[in-house]
Amino acid sequence: MSILLDQINYPADLRKLKQNQLKQVSDELREELVNVVSETGGHLGAGLGVVELTVAIHYVFNTPKDKLVWDVGHQCYPHKLITGRKNSIRTLRKGGGLSGFTKRAESEYDPFGAAHSSTSISSTLGMAVANKLSNSNNNVVAVIGDGAMSAGMAYEAMNNAGALRSKLIVILNDNEMSIAKPVGAMSKYLARLLSGKMYFSFRETIKMIISSFSKRFAEKTAKAEDLIKGLVSGGTLFSELGFYYIGPIDGHDVNNLVQVLENVKNSKHEGPVLIHAITQKGKGYKPAEKSGDKYHGVSKFNIITGEQVQSKSNTLSYTKIFAETLVKHAEKDTKIIGITGAMSGGTGMDIFEKRFPDRMFDVGIAEQHAVTFAAGLATEGYKPFAAIYSTFLQRAYDQVVHDVAIQSLPVRFAIDRAGLVGADGPTHAGSFDVTYLSTLPNFIVMAASDEAELVKMINTAVRINDRPCAFRYPRGNGIGIELPNINEILEIGKGKIVRKGKQAAILCFGARLEECKKAAEILSSKGIELTLVDARFAKPLDEKLIMEVATMHEAVITIEEGSIGGFGSHVSQLLSERGVFDKGLKFRSMVLPDLFLDQDTPETMYKKAGLDSLSIVSKIENVLKSNIILAKNKNKHLN
Long-range contacts of 180-188 (CB under 8 A, 24+ apart): 180/232, 180/233, 180/234, 180/247, 180/248, 180/276, 180/278, 181/248, 181/278, 182/248, 182/249, 182/250, 182/278, 183/232, 186/231, 187/232, 187/248, 187/249, 187/250, 188/249, 188/250, 188/253, 188/256
Is residue 304 a part of any domain in this protein?
A: no
Task: Tell whether 106 and 242 lie within a shared domain.
Answer: yes
Catalytic residues: 281, 367, 395
- Give the Cα separation of 267 and 455 in Å (integer): 60
Domain boundary, last residue among 439, 472, 505: 472
Task: Tell whether 191 and 275 lie within a shared domain.
Answer: yes
Task: Tell whether 98 and 173 lie within a shared domain.
Answer: yes
Between 351 and 74, name the one with better pLDDT: 351
pLDDT at 252: 97
In the chain, DSSP finds a helix count (H) and a strand count (E) of 25, 19
Q: Domain range for residue 600? A: 496-637
Task: Tell whether 167 and 277 lie within a shared domain.
Answer: yes
CATH number of the domain residue 399 falls in: 3.40.50.970
CATH number of the domain residue 550 falls in: 3.40.50.920
pLDDT above 70 coverage of the chain, percent: 88
- Over residues 563-590, the mean pLDDT reads 96
User: Could you tell me if 26 and 83 are in contact, meaning their C-beta atoms sit under 8 angstroms apart?
Assistant: no
Domain boundary, last residue among 292, 310, 330: 292
Task: Tell whether 517 and 468 lie within a shared domain.
Answer: no
| Count of structural domains, the chain | 3
Alpha carbon 403 to its chain centroid, in Å, reads 22
Is residue 310 a part of any domain in this protein?
A: no
Task: Tell whether 154 and 83 lie within a shared domain.
Answer: yes
Is residue 479 scored above 70 in pLDDT? yes
Between 213 and 368, name the one with better pLDDT: 368
- Name the band, by pLDDT with cuts 50, 70 and 90, for residue 209: very low
DSSP state of 491: P
Task: Tell whether 500 and 463 lie within a shared domain.
Answer: no
What amino acid occupies position 572? S
Is residue 301 a part of any domain in this protein?
A: no
Is residue 623 a part of any domain in this protein?
A: yes
Q: CB neighbours (10 Å) of residue 463?
A: 14
Please enumerate in sequence order all residues whose Cβ is within 8 A of that of 388, keeping only pairs 6 or more positions apart, or say none.
340, 341, 343, 347, 367, 370, 396, 413, 414, 415, 416
Q: What is the pLDDT of residues 404-457, one digit of tens each?
A: 999 999 999 999 999 999 999 999 999 999 999 999 999 999 999 999 999 999
- Over residues 545-565, the mean pLDDT reads 97
- Name the band, by pLDDT with cuts 50, 70 and 90, for residue 629: very low
- Over residues 548-562, the mean pLDDT reads 97
pLDDT at 293: 74
Is residue 267 a part of any domain in this protein?
A: yes
Q: What is the pLDDT of residues 171-204, one digit of tens each?
A: 999 986 434 444 455 446 546 655 666 555 555 5
Task: Tell whether 594 and 627 lie within a shared domain.
Answer: yes
- Name the band, by pLDDT with cuts 50, 70 and 90, for residue 150: confident
pTM for the full predicted model: 0.87
User: Could you tell me if 508 and 497 are in contact, meaning their C-beta atoms sit under 8 angstroms apart?
Assistant: no
pLDDT at 11: 98
Is residue 306 a part of any domain in this protein?
A: no
Task: Tell whether 137 and 219 lie within a shared domain.
Answer: yes
- Over residues 277-288, the mean pLDDT reads 92
- Name the band, by pLDDT with cuts 50, 70 and 90, for residue 207: low
Q: What is the pLDDT of residues 36-52, one digit of tens each?
A: 999 999 999 999 999 99
Task: Tell whether 463 and 533 lie within a shared domain.
Answer: no
User: Could you tell me if 144 and 365 are in contact, meaning their C-beta atoms sit under 8 angstroms apart?
Assistant: no
Is residue 13 a part of any domain in this protein?
A: yes
Task: Tell whether 172 and 287 lie within a shared domain.
Answer: yes
- Name the band, by pLDDT with cuts 50, 70 and 90, for residue 600: very high
Is residue 303 a part of any domain in this protein?
A: no
Is residue 632 scored above 90 in pLDDT? no
pLDDT at 224: 45
- Name the band, by pLDDT with cuts 50, 70 and 90, for residue 231: very low
Task: Tell whether 222 and 351 lie within a shared domain.
Answer: no
Q: Label residue 480 exposed, middle or buried (CB < 10 Å: 0-12, 13-18, 19+).
A: exposed
- Name the band, by pLDDT with cuts 50, 70 and 90, for residue 142: very high
Minimum mean pLDDT range among 56-65, 273-282, 372-381: 273-282
